[in-house]
Amino acid sequence: MRGLTTVVVVHATATPNRPLLVALCDQHTALLQRAACIDELVGFSAIVDCEACALTSSGGQESEEIARVGPAPHLHAIPRPA
């Protein structure tokens, strides 16, 4: 069973006049409380997944896809005819 996410209102540094509504798991809520200021606790949700976990898991998938493709092919200079 999925746990509850905490839904909070925060302000991004780049856009302080524009509040953001964010759903976070307990770990990411604690991290945000240490690193920034939560403006308002809106509530809890059993439906919405943690947005930070979704970002980190999609980043990991992209890394795996890049690793599967393999290294870039080696380029060799073609000698010019004399």
**Residue 79 resides in a domain:** no
**Residue 48 resides in a domain:** yes
pLDDT tens track for 33-52: 887 778 889 999 999 899 88
| φ and ψ at residue 5, rounded to 5 degrees | -105, 155
Check: CB of residue 23 under 8 Å from CB of residue 51.
yes
For the chain, the domain total comes to: 1
Distance from the Cα of residue 21 to its chain's centroid:
15
Please tell me which residue, 70 or 35, carries the higher pLDDT value: 35
Domain with 23 in it: 5-53
Query: Is the per-residue pLDDT at 27 higher than 70?
Result: yes
Q: What is the mean pLDDT of the chain?
A: 75
pTM, 2 dp: 0.59
**Average pLDDT over every residue of 2-31:** 85
**Residue 75 resides in a domain:** no
pLDDT for res 40: 86
Closest CA to 25 of 47, 53, 1: 53
**Residue 60 resides in a domain:** no
